[in-house]
Structure 1
Amino acid sequence: MTGPGASYTNVEIADRLERLADLLELQEANPFRVRAYRSAAEVIAAHDVSVAELDDEGLTAMKGIGKDLARAVRDLVEAGEIPQLTALEREVPIGLLDVKRVPGVGPKRAITLWKSLGVTGLDDLEREARAGRVAALAGFGEKTQTKVLRGVEQVRAHRGRLRSVDAEVLVAPLVAHLADAAGVERVEVAGSLRRGRETIGDVDVVAQSDDPEPVMAALRTYRGVRDVVGSGRAKTSVTLEGGQQVDLRVVDRAAYGAALLYFTGSKSHNVELRSRAAARGMRLSEYGLFDLDDDGEPGVRRAGASEEEIYRALELDFVPVELREGRGEVAAAADGTLPRLLQLEDLRGDLHLHTTWSDGADDVATMVAACEARGYAYMAITDHSQALRMTGGLDAEKLARQWGALDDFEREHDGVTILRGLEVDIRKDGTLDLDDDSLERLDIVVASIHSHLELGRDAQTQRVIRALEHPQVNVLAHPTGRILGVRDPYAIDLDAVFAAAASRGVAIELNAAPQRLDVGDVDLMRAVTAGCTIVVDTDAHSVRGLEHMRFGVTTARRAWLGPEHVLNAWPLARVRAFLAKR
């Protein structure tokens, strides 16, 4: 449980600071102050040492943590609350946090809706919009009202689901806590999180122990538990402070593999496995694979201690967890045609990176050193073009200065190959945000959309296709514009886009940033079928962002991709040939 004396995790501390920033924003506080809390939350969440154990000196030694922020952290750890946050939660309706996330609203309009119409949550917003009162407000209008109504449904649809990266951070300390319980031999996360889904609902955990009760007790008393939904000898379900449900199953050694397989899923995969078992006179359950006796009841256990032995007993190759979605993987495992999937070690570079030349947090030298530490042979510096003014984007003059700086850097540095690139905005009419002469001098041109997301499907599709037809474009970045849990994909005909990209030699990006994972696994499969080359990029704006590559690899594996499909798994000479469209 949380409260005075509790040992807060870094994620829990970061979550409180994020909420504080959100509420300050709704009070129209100084933007720099809001940004300071958000930056501190990001630093704390990523810190590899328990921040709760640091004193004031240790806290203020962290980047972006001053005395006031250090005091807020110490207040939370020592007293169980941040006084300023507690006061804000009394002054600002918590439901406004959902309202401001509605596309077309944001913090300023949320304040207007609250003060003018008394809107304090999604239900209020929907009622006022349906009554036409939102459109009547200054600065809103009919189009905004229509967008708001669609946005309310989007926010509701995303409720209760966590991005995989957030779920990982939430679950890791819980799993470590369970692993320390008496008698526990193994404990693993199962369910959609183990399969690498981009978002998850409930969390499934499987533990191995001959004595379930100490493990169940460890979950019931975990500090982050809000409610115990139910608890028995085989299963305990709890709700965490953030609202996520965790279901824990405890089995013995002989059944552990079967339980892990069953609760990992997916349901479609499990149905196929059970059907295969039945066709061979066996029954598969969460307790094992059993031969059936003369009465059709489970008899001798054939397998169950490991997933591998169950697949072998069913005369199947082992199916990687990412493929277990009922998309033909069982048939492929039966005839030996499962693909060799992409691995993190296959990637030789990252072709979408930002630096302090635009909105990156780290400079070129720092990003280069980090890429070299990852063993990359090449990397592309692709800062934003001028259209994104708030990012300090590059026009032709600033780009030329960057090239000069890169020339100077490379004269003193012999290591990873640096490709000169730019993330160029696609304008509303499909033209690019840089002159052709400058584009021709770049090693790689990454084209993307950051504006006019509201265009209709046909207009958006033609806009993107026109950009792909430019001879210098090499990559289409984050092709649907989605932000998981925040913004749905914009309307676009992806099949037409993939066909155009394939015919023009333009790679489709799988953006590995965990808030994007754009495009998703199903669309990736369509892109490859259309003949597209895929590039898995982090879109990193800092060294820390490079670590997100693993999320992209997981999504690529879910799409059945191997190194042959992925541009940045190729050697540099082949990459250069692709970029030159030879």
Structure 2
Amino acid sequence: MAIHNNEIASALERLADLLDIEDANPFRVRAYRNAARTVGGYSRSMADMVEHGEDLSKLPEIGKDLADKIKTMVETGKLPVLNEAESRTPPALSDLMKIEGLGPKRVKILYQHLDIHSLEDLKRAANKGKIRELEGFGKKTEAMIKQRVERYSGAEKRTKLLVAQEVASALIKYLKRSQGVKQITVAGSYRRRKETVGDLDILVSAKKGSTVMTRFVNYEEIIEVISQGKTRSTVRLQSGLQVDVRVVPQVSYGAALHYFTGAKAHNIAVRKLGVKQGYKINEYGVFEDDKRIAGKTEAEVYQAVGLPYIEPELRENRGEIEAARKGKLPQLITQDELCGDLHAHTKASDGHHSLRQMAEAAAQLGYQYLAITEHSHRVTVANGLDKTRVLKHIKEIDKLNAQLDDIQLLKSIEVDIMEDGSLDLPDDVLAQLDLTVCSVHYKFNLSRTQQTERILKAMDNPHFNILGHPSGRLINEREPYDVDLERLMQGAKERGCFVELNAHPDRLDLTDDACLLAKEIGLKVAISTDAHSTNDLDFMHFGIGQARRGWLTADDVINTRPLNQLKRLLRRD
């Protein structure tokens, strides 16, 4: 049975958690966490690389020992060193570390003193007031833990888009080898590029006698066949995702694609338009009485109700129907309109590749520029840059730029916004940079007013250009900090600053709703990958999908500008 990158990454991350609880060597723990990040975010399948005999030790943060462990997981589905750790420490303790505010030391105390093995144990202990009695906890900490456990336990378990994409890509590749397949599309929230998906809906058109359905239910990653038929089958995969495959006739393919792409509210609105014109619209087509008058393509469905084609990312019933009727649909941004990426890290702080390697990878993507935004030194990472190292780094970029022909590296920094609203580097250093990305990396628990004022004060600094990952959230892992985002956006526009849409699939921060808000305010956005390796530069398409969901056009995004225009935008005169 094939194993996906996210499963390998999860095993490595769980191992790191258990070793952390055991007080293992911190360098060993960090090595497993870094490896998990590399594998989880890698665009190529580890299984495919092993199958082709490629050397995994050449990947960032993957030495020979880790490469061997990953190869073992690919070949056997098991990680023996994880099994050993789980025999010493209850594996469910790893789940406790997903609760914000519970690090390895606190988890260990809870386990040793209250015999807490699971989230349910933790919830019971909090409800009985036992956690407050432990040294280093107290009433406030107990209340915080109780609140976050309830929020985590009640959260809808949806799959990140990156993971769904890996699973879907492998399955589509497998199904395309079926006899008689003509078209195959993943519909649903996946096609609308939502940041998480609940399940996968796959539509197929095929010749009579096609083997696609038989082949589907024999896919090696299936753990349960829920239902099986000639035109529809439903299964559950080892990843936990439920997958529906429907075989539809070519004449109905567009109507079915429209129906199963959704969203439900959008479909209802389109059907109501059809009813007003005497049409019935369903997954089989557009019908006048019993006669099918449209449905082979999605464009036909929209045309039948007097609308132009509406892009899948817009189909949420948030005004797109009315905009279409008035001829005011936005010309959504596309990835080939980008001129560069404004957030990337190298080995100089916590990245994995050199300046030259990042530059060459960005040039291969057709970019004119790449901003090198190493971390500042005080808070974020152990290897962040202080004043002396920033000045040295500036010289290194200047030297490399003199050797590069088809791309320019921009001198930048991801500077921490301190609790008092100051920036983590002096103005005389920031003045020598092409731009700054300014981010909150700590003190997430300030009140809404304090957090908002903190960031607004930072924006008052004339060297503040872009607010990085504005809400601080990590999808399915960390809630956004409490902040008045609309006020921040207004403040940014007034001061000549911008906000980032961080394209990393763990963040996708701004949300689509926040992108819409920025557009309404007239605040322009930078879509950037926050790349820590050359491979991470490929995350840009996730950001583009989010931007399109937020109605953004090329004009709404600053890094669609050529370098000379970008530099004019960044000036705060």
Aligned equivalents of 2:555 and 2:57: distance in 1?
Answer: 47
* Amino acid corresponding to residue 550 of structure 2 in structure 1: A
Aligned equivalents of 2:77 and 2:427: distance in 1?
Answer: 58
* Amino acid corresponding to residue 194 of structure 2 in structure 1: R
Q: Point out the more displaced range, 70-79 or 195-204.
A: 70-79
* Amino acid corresponding to residue 30 of structure 1 in structure 2: N
Aligned equivalents of 1:216 and 1:415: distance in 2?
Answer: 49
* Amino acid corresponding to residue 222 of structure 1 in structure 2: Y
Q: Secondary structure at the match of 1:382?
A: strand
Question: Contact conserved, 1:213 with 1:233, CA < 8 A, in 2?
Answer: no
Q: Secondary structure at the match of 2:398?
A: helix
Q: Secondary structure at the match of 1:86?
A: helix
Aligned equivalents of 1:54 and 1:115: distance in 2?
Answer: 46
Offset of 1:101 from its aligned partner?
0.4
Per the alignment, residue 174 of structure 1 pairs with 171
1:155 corresponds to 2:152:
yes
1:434 corresponds to 2:429:
no
Aligned residue pairs, count = 570
Per the alignment, residue 143 of structure 2 pairs with 146
CA offset digits 1:466-518 (Å, max 9, x no partner): 11111221111111100111011100111111111110010011111111111
Question: Contact conserved, 1:11 with 1:170, CA < 8 A, in 2?
Answer: no
Q: Secondary structure at the match of 1:36?
A: helix
CA offset digits 1:70-90 (Å, max 9, x no partner): 443454444443333334444
**Aligned to 2:442, which of 436, 451, 461?**
451
Pair 80,482 (structure 1): closer, same or farther in 2 beyond 3 Å: closer
Aligned equivalents of 2:451 and 2:152: distance in 1?
Answer: 23
1:90-109 matches, cutoff 5 A: 90-109=87-106
Pair 90,281 (structure 1): closer, same or farther in 2 beyond 3 Å: farther
1:398 corresponds to 2:389:
yes
Q: Secondary structure at the match of 1:196?
A: coil
CA offset digits 1:432-451 (Å, max 9, x no partner): 11112222222212211001
Q: Secondary structure at the match of 1:390?
A: coil
1:385 corresponds to 2:383:
no
Aligned equivalents of 1:351 and 1:74: distance in 2?
Answer: 35
Offset of 1:326 from its aligned partner?
0.4
Per the alignment, residue 542 of structure 1 pairs with 533
Per the alignment, residue 280 of structure 1 pairs with 277
Aligned equivalents of 2:209 and 2:488: distance in 1?
Answer: 53
Per the alignment, residue 295 of structure 1 pairs with none
Pair 184,15 (structure 1): closer, same or farther in 2 beyond 3 Å: farther
- Structure 1: gaps of 5 or more residues: 1-5, 293-298
1:255 corresponds to 2:246:
no
Aligned equivalents of 1:182 and 1:120: distance in 2?
Answer: 50
**Aligned to 1:317, which of 295, 308, 324?**
308
* Amino acid corresponding to residue 312 of structure 1 in structure 2: Q
**Aligned to 1:419, which of 410, 417, 429?**
410
Offset of 1:158 from its aligned partner?
4.2
Per the alignment, residue 180 of structure 2 pairs with 183
CA offset digits 1:522-581 (Å, max 9, x no partner): 011112212211111111111111111111111111111111111111122221112112
**Aligned to 1:221, which of 218, 222, 226?**
218
CA-atom RMSD in angstroms: 2.2
State the TM-score, normalized to the length of structure 2.
0.94
Per the alignment, residue 261 of structure 2 pairs with 264
Question: Contact conserved, 1:220 with 1:228, CA < 8 A, in 2?
Answer: yes
1:338 corresponds to 2:325:
no
Question: Contact conserved, 2:61 with 2:352, CA < 8 A, in 1?
Answer: no
Aligned equivalents of 1:189 and 1:164: distance in 2?
Answer: 13
Aligned equivalents of 1:73 and 1:422: distance in 2?
Answer: 34
Q: Point out the more displaced range, 261-270 or 372-381.
A: 372-381
Per the alignment, residue 26 of structure 2 pairs with 31
**Aligned to 2:498, which of 492, 496, 507?**
507
CA offset digits 1:84-132 (Å, max 9, x no partner): 3334444433332321100010233222222221222211111111222
Q: Point out the more displaced range, 157-166 or 94-103.
A: 157-166
**Aligned to 1:564, which of 541, 545, 555?**
555
Per the alignment, residue 370 of structure 1 pairs with 361
Offset of 1:59 from its aligned partner?
4.6
Offset of 1:385 from its aligned partner?
1.2
Q: Secondary structure at the match of 1:185?
A: strand
Offset of 1:188 from its aligned partner?
1.3
Offset of 1:63 from its aligned partner?
5.4
- Structure 2: gaps of 5 or more residues: none
Aligned equivalents of 1:460 and 1:63: distance in 2?
Answer: 35
Offset of 1:375 from its aligned partner?
1.6
State the identity as a percent: 40
1:111-150 matches, cutoff 5 A: 111-150=108-147
Pair 434,11 (structure 1): closer, same or farther in 2 beyond 3 Å: closer
Q: Secondary structure at the match of 1:527?
A: helix
Question: Contact conserved, 2:525 with 2:558, CA < 8 A, in 1?
Answer: yes
Offset of 1:342 from its aligned partner?
0.5
Question: Contact conserved, 1:378 with 1:417, CA < 8 A, in 2?
Answer: yes
Per the alignment, residue 3 of structure 1 pairs with none
**Aligned to 1:353, which of 336, 344, 354?**
344
Offset of 1:453 from its aligned partner?
0.3
Aligned equivalents of 1:39 and 1:197: distance in 2?
Answer: 27
Question: Contact conserved, 1:17 with 1:38, CA < 8 A, in 2?
Answer: yes
Pair 250,73 (structure 1): closer, same or farther in 2 beyond 3 Å: same
Offset of 1:212 from its aligned partner?
8.2
Q: Secondary structure at the match of 2:132?
A: coil
Per the alignment, residue 551 of structure 1 pairs with 542
1:232 corresponds to 2:229:
yes
Q: Point out the more displaced range, 520-529 or 201-210.
A: 201-210
Q: Point out the more displaced range, 94-103 or 341-350.
A: 94-103
Offset of 1:429 from its aligned partner?
1.1
Question: Contact conserved, 1:160 with 1:244, CA < 8 A, in 2?
Answer: no
Question: Contact conserved, 1:505 with 1:581, CA < 8 A, in 2?
Answer: yes
Offset of 1:134 from its aligned partner?
1.5
Q: Secondary structure at the match of 2:185?
A: strand
Pair 468,74 (structure 1): closer, same or farther in 2 beyond 3 Å: closer
Aligned equivalents of 1:550 and 1:163: distance in 2?
Answer: 14
* Amino acid corresponding to residue 114 of structure 1 in structure 2: Y
Pair 207,327 (structure 1): closer, same or farther in 2 beyond 3 Å: same
Offset of 1:65 from its aligned partner?
4.5
* Amino acid corresponding to residue 364 of structure 1 in structure 2: L
Per the alignment, residue 407 of structure 1 pairs with 398
CA offset digits 1:227-260 (Å, max 9, x no partner): 2222333322222223222222221212221111
Aligned equivalents of 1:70 and 1:357: distance in 2?
Answer: 24
Per the alignment, residue 484 of structure 2 pairs with 493
Question: Contact conserved, 2:341 with 2:371, CA < 8 A, in 1?
Answer: yes
Per the alignment, residue 296 of structure 1 pairs with none
1:530 corresponds to 2:521:
yes
Q: Secondary structure at the match of 2:288?
A: strand
* Amino acid corresponding to residue 373 of structure 1 in structure 2: Q
Per the alignment, residue 49 of structure 2 pairs with 51
Offset of 1:169 from its aligned partner?
0.9
Offset of 1:405 from its aligned partner?
1.9
* Amino acid corresponding to residue 505 of structure 1 in structure 2: G
Pair 83,437 (structure 1): closer, same or farther in 2 beyond 3 Å: closer
Q: Point out the more displaced range, 529-538 or 141-150.
A: 141-150
Question: Contact conserved, 1:460 with 1:492, CA < 8 A, in 2?
Answer: yes
Offset of 1:147 from its aligned partner?
1.9
1:477 corresponds to 2:474:
no
